[in-house]
Amino acid sequence: MPAFALEPEQQAWCAELRTLSAERLRSLAEKGEPGRVNRPLLAALAELGLLERLFTSGALDLCLMRESLAHGCTEAETALALQGLGTYPLVQSGTRAQQDRWLPEVTAGRAVAAFALSEPGAGSDAGALSLNAVPHQGGWRLTGEKCWISNAPEADFYTVFARTTQGAGARGVTAFLVPADRPGLTGAPLDMLSPHPIGALTFTDVPVGPEDVLGDPDRGFRVAMNTLNLFRPSVGAFAVGMAQAALDATIAHTAQRAAFGGLLKDLQSVAHQVAEMATRTEAARLLVYAAAAAYDAGDPGIAKHSAMAKLLATETAQYVVDQAVQLHGARALQRGHLLEHLYREVRAPRIYEGATEVQRTIIAKELYT
């Protein structure tokens, strides 16, 4: 048996998720407003048990969920993933009081989470962040900005990374759990290419205390990296799901589209292109599964595996979707077409949670260590 072949139960579960995504969740997504949190969609994900499973399963299960949902409804996939990204620091590093307050609300689909790391001047170089945490009466006051934060400004709580020790780079960052109703915390939506909600946050003397710290003071960068090491392979899984959807649409289209006295699939140039798309998609899928398996096994090289999976899968998905658009022609550029939607969705994963260039830097660093 191949090293990363799925068990029959896993295959059946993925098929069930693809069906649910296409037949139930997509209709809820279509009723939502682009750029806004879709709370009915979150409620449906909770009802299906997927939000709870986010935090009780391993990395491979997370990848299978994201890939399967993305195949039928990228909005459902993204809503699930953002809940996981914003909440996982609480799961791995939160106190019992923090977990008791927020985890039941998240898994029930009632509370929206957000992961607030990026800033206007600190995106890929997360160690350079400058949101300042000034000591105040046994706690801190947060002052500064966050930008390009998914689910902002509509989230109910934020995992916020702030600088508690100046001049210490990544070693002087602390992770805080900050409820959205804290005084001094405001936000605004950003009009982005992707349809999911993204916003900017402004912190003006926002009070936080020791009870809001996730993990230990000045050790928040590790909280962020542990979260990203888990979620980077699953970003790759999201990309693979989109690539597979584009590939499936292309196979169906070229098998029935008449051109030059025959079908498109009978043109060698077309058939070879589709073969290349399929091969790259499968290669990306296997690398994603391998990275997830390495994470679940506690492999010490997880940073490299995660970076490789995200790098290859997101670049592959961009290629496959672009080729799918080319083979469909002008119809693929019409608003509402599956490929028009995927073309807008597929670009962002090459940037967020560490851009392609950052993944190459991580891989190179690990190779020479």
Q: Sign of torsion, CA 120 121 126 127? A: negative
Structural domain including 94 reads: 8-107
Task: Give residue 2's pLDDT.
Answer: 41
Domain CATH number, residue 309: 1.20.140.10
CB atoms within 10 A of CB 216: 12
pLDDT above 90 covers what percent of the chain?
A: 85
Same domain, 214 and 230: no
Rounded to an integer, the average pLDDT of 21-46 is 94
Task: Give residue 126's pLDDT.
Answer: 64
Q: Is residue 302 part of a domain?
A: yes
Q: How far is CA 217 from CA 19, 23, 135, in A?
A: 44, 46, 12
Report the C-alpha gap between 117 and 306 in whole angstroms.
19
Instruction: Give me 350's structure tokens.
Output: 């090459």
Residue count (the chain):
369
Rounded to an integer, the average pLDDT of 302-326 is 96
- Identify the domain boundary among 107, 132, 166: 107
Rounded to an integer, the average pLDDT of 232-257 is 96
Give catalytic status of residue 9 as yes or no: no
200 has which bridge partners?
A: 188
pLDDT tens, residue by residue, 257-285: 988 888 999 999 999 999 999 999 999 99
pLDDT tens, residue by residue, 304-313: 999 999 999 9
What's phi and psi for 274, nearest 5 deg? -65, -40
**Is the model's pLDDT at 359 over the cut of 90?**
yes
Report the C-alpha gap between 208 and 56 in whole angstroms.
29
Task: Give residue 6's pLDDT.
Answer: 84
Collect all residues with Cβ–Cβ distance below 8 Å to 25 and sequence separation of at least 6: 41, 44, 45, 69, 72, 73, 75, 76
Which amino acid is it at 20? Answer: L
pLDDT tens, residue by residue, 107-143: 999 999 999 999 998 766 766 888 999 999 999 999 9
pTM of the model: 0.92
Same domain, 280 and 311: yes
CB atoms within 10 A of CB 290: 18
**Is the model's pLDDT at 55 over the cut of 60?**
yes
Same domain, 119 and 32: no
Catalytic residue, candidates 9, 145, 353, 357? 353
CB atoms within 10 A of CB 183: 9
Same domain, 200 and 73: no
Instruction: Give me 118's structure tokens.
Output: 């990026």
Q: Is residue 290 part of a domain?
A: yes
Rounded to an integer, the average pLDDT of 331-340 is 94
Q: Is residue 190 part of a domain?
A: yes
- Identify the domain boundary among 218, 246, 267: 218
